Structure 1
Amino acid sequence: MTFKPSFSAASVAVLVAVLSLAGCGGGGGDSSSGTTAVANPAQFSATDVVLGTGTEAASGKTATVTYTGWLYSDTATDHKGTQFDAGTFTFTLGQNQVIAGFEQGVLGMKVGGKRTLLIPSSLGYGATANGAIPANSGLVFDVALTAVQ
Protein backbone atom coordinates (compact mmCIF):
# COMPACT_ATOMS: atom_id res chain seq x y z
CA MET A 1 0.00 0.00 0.00
CA THR A 2 1.68 3.20 -1.08
CA PHE A 3 -0.08 6.32 0.15
CA LYS A 4 1.07 9.91 0.21
CA PRO A 5 1.28 12.16 3.23
CA SER A 6 -1.02 10.54 5.81
CA PHE A 7 -3.49 7.80 6.56
CA SER A 8 -7.13 8.46 5.90
CA ALA A 9 -9.82 6.49 7.69
CA ALA A 10 -10.39 4.56 4.45
CA SER A 11 -6.73 3.52 4.19
CA VAL A 12 -6.75 2.34 7.82
CA ALA A 13 -9.84 0.26 7.03
CA VAL A 14 -8.08 -1.26 4.01
CA LEU A 15 -5.02 -2.17 6.12
CA VAL A 16 -7.19 -3.77 8.80
CA ALA A 17 -9.02 -5.75 6.11
CA VAL A 18 -5.74 -6.92 4.55
CA LEU A 19 -4.36 -8.01 7.93
CA SER A 20 -7.64 -9.80 8.70
CA LEU A 21 -7.62 -11.62 5.37
CA ALA A 22 -4.05 -12.73 5.96
CA GLY A 23 -5.39 -15.00 8.68
CA CYS A 24 -7.92 -16.78 6.44
CA GLY A 25 -5.38 -19.39 5.34
CA GLY A 26 -7.07 -20.25 2.05
CA GLY A 27 -7.54 -23.90 3.02
CA GLY A 28 -3.83 -24.72 2.75
CA GLY A 29 -2.27 -28.07 3.51
CA ASP A 30 -1.76 -27.60 7.23
CA SER A 31 -3.79 -30.25 9.00
CA SER A 32 -2.92 -29.06 12.51
CA SER A 33 -5.55 -28.02 15.00
CA GLY A 34 -5.16 -24.38 13.95
CA THR A 35 -3.83 -23.23 17.31
CA THR A 36 -0.71 -21.12 17.34
CA ALA A 37 1.70 -21.15 20.26
CA VAL A 38 1.84 -17.66 21.70
CA ALA A 39 5.29 -16.36 22.63
CA ASN A 40 6.84 -12.99 23.46
CA PRO A 41 10.31 -11.51 23.46
CA ALA A 42 11.49 -10.54 26.94
CA GLN A 43 11.54 -6.88 25.87
CA PHE A 44 11.32 -4.62 22.84
CA SER A 45 14.43 -4.49 20.67
CA ALA A 46 15.38 -2.74 17.45
CA THR A 47 18.49 -4.06 15.72
CA ASP A 48 19.98 -2.06 12.85
CA VAL A 49 20.84 -4.36 9.95
CA VAL A 50 21.78 -1.47 7.63
CA LEU A 51 22.33 2.10 8.81
CA GLY A 52 20.59 4.61 6.58
CA THR A 53 22.14 7.90 5.52
CA GLY A 54 19.06 9.87 4.45
CA THR A 55 16.44 11.90 6.28
CA GLU A 56 15.67 10.76 9.83
CA ALA A 57 12.20 9.51 10.80
CA ALA A 58 10.89 11.82 13.54
CA SER A 59 7.55 12.55 15.17
CA GLY A 60 5.27 14.50 12.83
CA LYS A 61 7.08 13.23 9.71
CA THR A 62 5.50 10.86 7.20
CA ALA A 63 7.46 7.63 6.81
CA THR A 64 7.22 5.05 4.04
CA VAL A 65 8.48 1.57 4.86
CA THR A 66 8.60 -1.86 3.33
CA TYR A 67 8.14 -4.58 5.91
CA THR A 68 7.61 -8.25 6.59
CA GLY A 69 5.89 -9.37 9.79
CA TRP A 70 6.09 -12.71 11.62
CA LEU A 71 4.67 -14.07 14.83
CA TYR A 72 7.44 -14.22 17.42
CA SER A 73 8.69 -17.76 18.08
CA ASP A 74 11.00 -18.91 20.86
CA THR A 75 12.26 -21.77 18.68
CA ALA A 76 12.38 -20.45 15.08
CA THR A 77 15.50 -19.06 13.42
CA ASP A 78 15.79 -15.34 14.24
CA HIS A 79 12.51 -15.80 16.21
CA LYS A 80 10.58 -15.56 12.92
CA GLY A 81 7.60 -17.89 13.27
CA THR A 82 4.60 -17.78 10.93
CA GLN A 83 4.69 -14.86 8.48
CA PHE A 84 1.44 -12.88 8.65
CA ASP A 85 2.02 -9.91 6.35
CA ALA A 86 4.40 -8.04 4.05
CA GLY A 87 4.14 -4.90 1.97
CA THR A 88 4.74 -1.18 1.73
CA PHE A 89 3.14 1.18 4.20
CA THR A 90 3.05 4.97 4.73
CA PHE A 91 2.12 6.56 8.05
CA THR A 92 2.68 9.71 10.09
CA LEU A 93 4.83 9.24 13.17
CA GLY A 94 3.32 10.40 16.45
CA GLN A 95 -0.29 9.95 15.29
CA ASN A 96 -0.96 6.47 16.76
CA GLN A 97 -1.58 5.06 13.27
CA VAL A 98 0.45 1.90 13.96
CA ILE A 99 1.11 -0.30 16.97
CA ALA A 100 3.38 1.29 19.55
CA GLY A 101 6.28 -1.12 18.98
CA PHE A 102 6.30 -0.48 15.22
CA GLU A 103 6.37 3.29 15.71
CA GLN A 104 9.05 3.01 18.39
CA GLY A 105 11.11 0.88 16.01
CA VAL A 106 10.88 3.28 13.06
CA LEU A 107 11.61 6.46 15.06
CA GLY A 108 15.22 7.50 14.58
CA MET A 109 15.78 5.40 11.46
CA LYS A 110 17.27 7.15 8.43
CA VAL A 111 16.17 6.59 4.84
CA GLY A 112 18.01 3.59 3.44
CA GLY A 113 18.13 1.92 6.85
CA LYS A 114 16.89 -1.55 7.71
CA ARG A 115 15.93 -2.81 11.18
CA THR A 116 14.63 -5.95 12.77
CA LEU A 117 12.08 -5.28 15.52
CA LEU A 118 11.18 -7.72 18.30
CA ILE A 119 7.90 -6.46 19.76
CA PRO A 120 6.29 -7.89 22.91
CA SER A 121 2.50 -8.13 22.84
CA SER A 122 2.25 -5.19 25.25
CA LEU A 123 3.57 -2.95 22.43
CA GLY A 124 1.62 -4.84 19.76
CA TYR A 125 -2.03 -5.90 19.84
CA GLY A 126 -2.03 -6.97 23.50
CA ALA A 127 -4.88 -9.23 24.60
CA THR A 128 -6.80 -8.57 21.37
CA ALA A 129 -6.45 -10.94 18.42
CA ASN A 130 -6.10 -9.21 15.04
CA GLY A 131 -6.67 -11.39 11.97
CA ALA A 132 -3.80 -13.88 11.76
CA ILE A 133 -2.29 -12.51 14.97
CA PRO A 134 -3.48 -14.33 18.10
CA ALA A 135 -4.05 -12.43 21.34
CA ASN A 136 -0.92 -11.87 23.46
CA SER A 137 1.47 -12.58 20.56
CA GLY A 138 4.92 -11.10 20.23
CA LEU A 139 5.83 -9.89 16.75
CA VAL A 140 8.96 -9.68 14.59
CA PHE A 141 9.25 -7.15 11.77
CA ASP A 142 11.97 -6.58 9.20
CA VAL A 143 11.56 -2.91 8.24
CA ALA A 144 13.28 -0.84 5.54
CA LEU A 145 12.74 2.93 5.59
CA THR A 146 12.34 4.09 1.99
CA ALA A 147 11.15 7.70 2.39
CA VAL A 148 10.54 10.45 4.97
CA GLN A 149 8.58 13.62 4.23
Structure 2
Amino acid sequence: MASEMPVVNAEFGDRPTIEFPTEIAPAGLKVVELFEGNGPMVRRGDTVTVNYHGVVWGKDTPFDSSFDRHQPATFGIGVGQVIKGWDQTVPGHNVGSRLVVSIPPEYGYGSRGVPQAGIGGEDTLVFVIDIISTR
Protein backbone atom coordinates (compact mmCIF):
# COMPACT_ATOMS: atom_id res chain seq x y z
CA MET A 1 0.00 0.00 0.00
CA ALA A 2 2.80 2.44 0.84
CA SER A 3 4.03 2.31 -2.77
CA GLU A 4 0.78 3.85 -4.07
CA MET A 5 0.86 6.64 -1.48
CA PRO A 6 2.57 10.00 -2.02
CA VAL A 7 6.21 10.45 -1.11
CA VAL A 8 6.61 13.08 1.60
CA ASN A 9 9.89 14.93 2.05
CA ALA A 10 10.55 16.74 5.34
CA GLU A 11 11.05 15.86 8.94
CA PHE A 12 8.41 16.06 11.66
CA GLY A 13 7.73 19.74 12.31
CA ASP A 14 8.95 20.94 8.90
CA ARG A 15 6.62 21.98 6.06
CA PRO A 16 6.22 18.88 3.88
CA THR A 17 6.62 18.53 0.16
CA ILE A 18 4.49 15.89 -1.54
CA GLU A 19 5.27 13.89 -4.69
CA PHE A 20 2.54 11.75 -6.25
CA PRO A 21 3.49 8.31 -7.64
CA THR A 22 0.51 8.18 -10.04
CA GLU A 23 -2.17 10.47 -11.43
CA ILE A 24 -4.86 8.21 -9.97
CA ALA A 25 -5.41 8.12 -6.21
CA PRO A 26 -5.68 4.74 -4.48
CA ALA A 27 -9.18 3.54 -3.67
CA GLY A 28 -10.46 3.90 -0.13
CA LEU A 29 -9.16 5.57 2.98
CA LYS A 30 -5.40 5.05 3.42
CA VAL A 31 -2.95 6.07 6.13
CA VAL A 32 0.81 5.54 6.35
CA GLU A 33 2.78 6.43 9.46
CA LEU A 34 5.95 8.06 8.14
CA PHE A 35 7.52 8.57 11.57
CA GLU A 36 6.35 6.93 14.79
CA GLY A 37 6.30 9.25 17.77
CA ASN A 38 7.04 8.10 21.29
CA GLY A 39 4.43 10.26 23.06
CA PRO A 40 1.00 9.25 24.34
CA MET A 41 -1.40 7.49 21.98
CA VAL A 42 -4.28 9.54 20.56
CA ARG A 43 -7.66 8.06 21.46
CA ARG A 44 -11.16 8.82 20.18
CA GLY A 45 -12.61 11.68 22.20
CA ASP A 46 -9.20 13.26 22.87
CA THR A 47 -8.42 16.87 22.04
CA VAL A 48 -5.45 16.87 19.67
CA THR A 49 -3.13 19.60 18.48
CA VAL A 50 -1.66 19.03 15.03
CA ASN A 51 0.12 20.70 12.17
CA TYR A 52 -1.23 19.66 8.79
CA HIS A 53 -0.78 20.29 5.09
CA GLY A 54 -3.70 19.45 2.78
CA VAL A 55 -3.64 19.14 -1.01
CA VAL A 56 -5.90 17.66 -3.65
CA TRP A 57 -4.35 14.46 -5.06
CA GLY A 58 -1.95 15.41 -7.88
CA LYS A 59 -1.84 19.15 -7.08
CA ASP A 60 1.09 21.18 -5.75
CA THR A 61 -0.72 24.03 -4.04
CA PRO A 62 -2.27 23.34 -0.64
CA PHE A 63 -5.93 24.19 -0.08
CA ASP A 64 -5.11 24.52 3.64
CA SER A 65 -1.91 24.32 5.65
CA SER A 66 -1.33 25.10 9.30
CA PHE A 67 2.38 24.93 8.45
CA ASP A 68 1.92 27.94 6.15
CA ARG A 69 -0.03 29.84 8.82
CA HIS A 70 2.57 28.93 11.49
CA GLN A 71 -0.39 28.08 13.75
CA PRO A 72 -1.23 24.49 14.79
CA ALA A 73 -4.88 23.45 14.98
CA THR A 74 -6.62 21.97 18.05
CA PHE A 75 -9.89 20.01 17.96
CA GLY A 76 -11.67 16.92 19.24
CA ILE A 77 -10.84 13.75 17.31
CA GLY A 78 -13.18 10.84 16.68
CA VAL A 79 -16.21 12.93 17.66
CA GLY A 80 -17.30 14.53 14.36
CA GLN A 81 -15.50 17.87 14.70
CA VAL A 82 -13.39 17.18 11.60
CA ILE A 83 -13.91 15.19 8.40
CA LYS A 84 -14.53 11.47 8.77
CA GLY A 85 -11.15 10.59 7.22
CA TRP A 86 -9.34 12.32 10.10
CA ASP A 87 -11.64 10.84 12.76
CA GLN A 88 -10.86 7.35 11.45
CA THR A 89 -7.09 7.64 10.88
CA VAL A 90 -5.57 9.87 13.60
CA PRO A 91 -6.67 7.88 16.71
CA GLY A 92 -4.27 5.04 17.44
CA HIS A 93 -1.13 7.01 16.58
CA ASN A 94 1.30 8.51 19.08
CA VAL A 95 2.19 12.12 19.73
CA GLY A 96 5.29 12.87 17.67
CA SER A 97 4.08 10.83 14.69
CA ARG A 98 3.87 12.10 11.12
CA LEU A 99 1.11 10.59 8.98
CA VAL A 100 0.22 10.83 5.31
CA VAL A 101 -3.47 10.20 4.73
CA SER A 102 -5.33 9.73 1.43
CA ILE A 103 -9.02 10.59 1.86
CA PRO A 104 -11.61 9.86 -0.86
CA PRO A 105 -14.65 12.16 -1.12
CA GLU A 106 -16.93 9.97 1.00
CA TYR A 107 -14.53 10.40 3.95
CA GLY A 108 -13.85 14.07 3.16
CA TYR A 109 -16.26 16.72 1.96
CA GLY A 110 -18.55 14.47 -0.09
CA SER A 111 -19.88 14.97 -3.59
CA ARG A 112 -20.24 18.74 -3.11
CA GLY A 113 -16.56 19.26 -2.29
CA VAL A 114 -15.56 22.75 -1.18
CA PRO A 115 -15.45 24.78 -4.42
CA GLN A 116 -14.20 27.96 -2.71
CA ALA A 117 -11.14 25.97 -1.54
CA GLY A 118 -10.63 24.36 -4.96
CA ILE A 119 -11.90 20.94 -3.81
CA GLY A 120 -14.18 19.18 -6.28
CA GLY A 121 -16.71 16.51 -5.37
CA GLU A 122 -14.59 13.78 -6.98
CA ASP A 123 -11.28 14.88 -5.46
CA THR A 124 -9.19 12.71 -3.18
CA LEU A 125 -7.53 14.73 -0.43
CA VAL A 126 -4.03 14.16 0.89
CA PHE A 127 -3.01 15.38 4.32
CA VAL A 128 0.37 15.26 6.00
CA ILE A 129 -0.37 15.38 9.74
CA ASP A 130 2.11 15.95 12.56
CA ILE A 131 0.59 15.02 15.93
CA ILE A 132 1.89 17.60 18.43
CA SER A 133 -0.12 16.79 21.57
CA THR A 134 -3.20 15.03 22.91
CA ARG A 135 -5.26 15.39 26.07
Equivalent AA in structure 2 for residue 95 of structure 1: V
- Residues of 2 paired with 1:141 and 1:105: CA distance? 11
Equivalent AA in structure 1 for residue 125 of structure 2: L
- Residues of 1 paired with 2:89 and 2:99: CA distance? 8
In structure 2, runs of 5+ residues without a counterpart are 1-23, 67-71
Residue by residue over 1:103-124, the C-alpha shift from the partner in whole angstroms, topping out at 9 and shown as x without a partner, is 2121111010000001111100
Please state how far the C-alpha of 1:102 moved relative to its aligned partner.
1.4
Aligned length: 106
Please state how far the C-alpha of 1:129 moved relative to its aligned partner.
2.4
- Residues of 2 paired with 1:60 and 1:83: CA distance? 28
- Residues of 1 paired with 2:46 and 2:77: CA distance? 6
1:128–1:135 CA contact under 8 A, matched in 2: yes
Task: Report the equivalent of 1:112.
Answer: 96
- Largest Rg, 1 or 2: 1
1:125–1:136 CA contact under 8 A, matched in 2: no
- Residues of 2 paired with 1:69 and 1:128: CA distance? 18
Please tell me whether residue 139 in structure 1 is matched to residue 118 in structure 2: no
Task: Report the equivalent of 2:15.
Answer: none
TM-score (norm 1): 0.66
Runs of 4+ residues deviating >6 angstroms: none
Q: With CA pairs under 8 Å and 6+ residues apart, which has the higher RCO, 1 or 2?
A: 1
2:105–2:113 CA contact under 8 A, matched in 1: no
Equivalent AA in structure 1 for residue 42 of structure 2: A
CA RMSD of superposed structures (Å): 1.7
SS at match of 1:49: strand
In structure 1, runs of 5+ residues without a counterpart are 1-38, 74-79
Please tell me whether residue 100 in structure 1 is matched to residue 79 in structure 2: no
Task: Report the equivalent of 1:29.
Answer: none
Please state how far the C-alpha of 1:40 moved relative to its aligned partner.
4.5
Please tell me whether residue 64 in structure 1 is matched to residue 43 in structure 2: no
Q: Which of 125, 139, 145 is the aligned partner of 2:109? A: 125
Task: Report the equivalent of 1:41.
Answer: 26
Task: Report the equivalent of 2:63.
Answer: 84
Please state how far the C-alpha of 1:53 moved relative to its aligned partner.
0.8
Equivalent AA in structure 2 for residue 59 of structure 1: R
TM-score (norm 2): 0.72
SS at match of 1:68: strand
Equivalent AA in structure 2 for residue 134 of structure 1: G
